[in-house]
């Protein structure tokens, strides 16, 4: 018999490379007005991995931080589950490389009892991994052991392409368990929205993504709308929420974080979310008095509509209304503070934004509903929610993301280009490694060709 358990996220640890590229330096070098990036897109700095770093070292660093700050031992962990779209091998998962690195600290074979899968679905992969692991814990099959889900990615586009200004890198490790201290998952809330689409992908052998930039924004908004509709339906049919006259779903959500390729995208996503939620409510009259009527969409597909000039102009006017501004500042803005300084980190970006939201906001969130909107190209969105737990402050007090971001080193555009084009040997990076896992070498013989050897540098 299945016993109802309280499961969710107990703690979060984020790792961000120590190097960053300043957006203004980058824009000047490319001949782009800096305000286009700092204001139009909303990015001030992009984190750039050094030559000895990759998606596996970043993942191992986030996992080690999570283990150490919670005093966890390998026996406490049942799964290390990695989600990434920066896969390093077509067969071996990053999770096993992470296991090997952690065993350099905790002892050879110390994690041999774990399950260690890898999930891929562009930027939404970690949210799928989280739901899988939480369901496993909820079933009781975990026998008391915790799961670590790690989102790790390097967002990388071709030099001189329009995607170049939306790069970045980070890894986030989530500790999942019964009776979590941070956020309890609301399983009946989750809404999915999935379409077979081609907005963004990375064919085998390429290190940079192929992207149809403006179309990808339309896909994001379409799938998020489908998932938000499913979330709303699930919240109402399961009785978690009942709406009084004049209320929208957002009135029952206290905080929300989105998949965040860049801050402006989140503003667009939240605006579309509210327009959809408020249309038909009494407050809509006040809105359209300020914006004018919503454009007609007869005969248009969702994507054609979302990327059309009249809808963009309408959404822009909507974001200037005091009603939008109040909701955005209260529920979303703090999640973007770290993002501005990191850039996109694909699977990790949503969860990094959740950490940022908790770290920046100091008012009491205990008992409040925290929703997330996750999106991955290709394409799929998930909207689901959590309840912030009474003792969450204990956990948040140990977050140090903003402090970590203030201790990084700026690199020049020339150094960035060397790293981007992989011109540097792992032993000849920009910043000498210390207290971290590094890529030591790649195998060169018939039986280890391309195998990745990692070591911990004190």
Which residues contact ligand CAA by CB under 6 A? 33, 35-36, 39-41, 123, 162-163, 165-166, 200, 211, 213-214, 216-217, 220, 259, 261, 265, 344, 346, 375, 377
Number of residues written out for the chain? 458
What radius of gyration do the chain's Cα atoms show?
Answer: 22
Distance, C-alpha 323 to centroid of its chain: 27
Shortest distance (Å) from residue 309 CB to ligand CAA: 10
Shortest distance in whole angstroms from residue 223 CB to ligand CAA: 10
Residue 21 CA to residue 269 CA, distance in Å, equals 26
- With CB atoms as reference, the residue minimizing the distance to ligand CAA is 40
CB of 369 to ligand CAA, least distance (A): 24
Whole-number minimum distance, CB 16 to ligand CAA, in Å?
17
Min CB(122)–ligand CAA separation in Å: 6
Q: Which residue, 200 or 399, has its beta carbon nearer to ligand CAA?
A: 200
DSSP β-bridge partners for residue 21: 46, 411
Which C-beta is closer to ligand CAA: that of 58 or that of 184? 58
Tell me the closest approach of the beta carbon of residue 214 to ligand CAA, in angstroms.
Answer: 5
Which long-range contacts (C-beta less than 8 Å, at least 24 apart) are formed by 157-163? Answer: 157/208, 157/209, 157/211, 158/208, 159/417, 159/420, 159/421, 160/30, 161/208, 162/213, 163/209, 163/211, 163/213
Decide whether 146 or 156 has the Cβ nearer to ligand CAA: 156
| Pick 165 or 389: Cβ nearer ligand CAA | 165
Q: Among residues 210 and 243, whose Cβ is nearest to ligand CAA?
A: 210
Q: Is 10 or 22 the residue whose CB approaches ligand CAA more closely? A: 22
């Amino acid at each position: 018999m299945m016993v109802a358990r309280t499961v969710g996220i107990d703690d979060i640890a984020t790792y961000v490379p120590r190097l960053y590229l300043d957006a203004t330096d980058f824009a000047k070098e490319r001949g782009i007005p800096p305000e286009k990036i700092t204001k139009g897109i909303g990015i001030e700095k992009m984190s750039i991995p050094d030559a000895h770093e990759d998606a596996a070292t970043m993942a191992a660093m986030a996992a080690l931080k999570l283990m150490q700050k919670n005093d966890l031992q390998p026996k406490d962990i049942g799964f290390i589950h990695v989600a990434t779209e920066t896969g390093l091998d077509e067969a071996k998962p990053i999770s096993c490389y992470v296991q090997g690195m952690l065993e350099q600290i905790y002892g050879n074979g110390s994690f041999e009892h774990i399950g260690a899968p890898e999930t891929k679905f562009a930027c939404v992969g970690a949210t799928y991994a989280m739901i899988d692991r939480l369901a496993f814990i909820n079933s009781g099959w975990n026998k008391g052991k915790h799961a670590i889900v790690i989102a790790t990615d390097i967002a990388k586009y071709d030099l001189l392409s329009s995607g170049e200004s939306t790069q970045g890198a980070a890894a986030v490790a989530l500790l999942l368990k019964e009776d979590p201290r941070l956020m309890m998952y609301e399983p009946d809330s989750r809404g999915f929205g999935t379409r077979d689409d081609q907005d963004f992908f990375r064919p085998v052998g390429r290190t940079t993504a192929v992207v149809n930039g403006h179309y990808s924004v339309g896909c994001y908004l379409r799938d998020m709308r489908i998932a938000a509709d499913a979330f709303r339906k699930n919240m109402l049919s399961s009785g978690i929420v009942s709406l009084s006259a004049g209320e929208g779903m957002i009135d029952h959500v206290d905080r929300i974080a989105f998949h965040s390729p860049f801050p402006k995208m989140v503003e667009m996503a939240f605006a579309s979310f509210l327009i959809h939620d408020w249309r038909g409510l009494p407050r809509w009259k006040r809105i359209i008095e300020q914006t004018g009527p919503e454009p007609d969409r007869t005969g248009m597909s969702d994507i054609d509509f979302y990327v059309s000039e009249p809808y963009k102009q309408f959404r822009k006017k909507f974001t200037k209304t005091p009603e939008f501004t109040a909701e955005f500042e209260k529920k979303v803005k703090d999640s973007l503070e770290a993002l501005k300084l990191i850039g996109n980190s694909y699977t990790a970006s949503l969860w990094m934004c959740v950490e940022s939201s908790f770290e920046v906001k100091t008012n009491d969130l205990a008992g409040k509903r925290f929703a997330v909107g996750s999106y991955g190209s290709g394409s799929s969105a998930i909207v689901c929610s959590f309840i912030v737990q009474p003792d969450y402050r204990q956990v948040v007090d140990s977050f140090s993301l903003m402090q970590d971001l203030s201790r990084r080193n700026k690199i020049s555009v020339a150094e960035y280009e060397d790293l981007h084009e992989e011109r540097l040997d792992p032993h000849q990076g920009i910043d000498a490694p210390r207290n971290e896992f590094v890529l030591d070498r790649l195998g060169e013989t018939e039986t280890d060709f391309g195998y990745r050897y990692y070591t911990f540098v004190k």
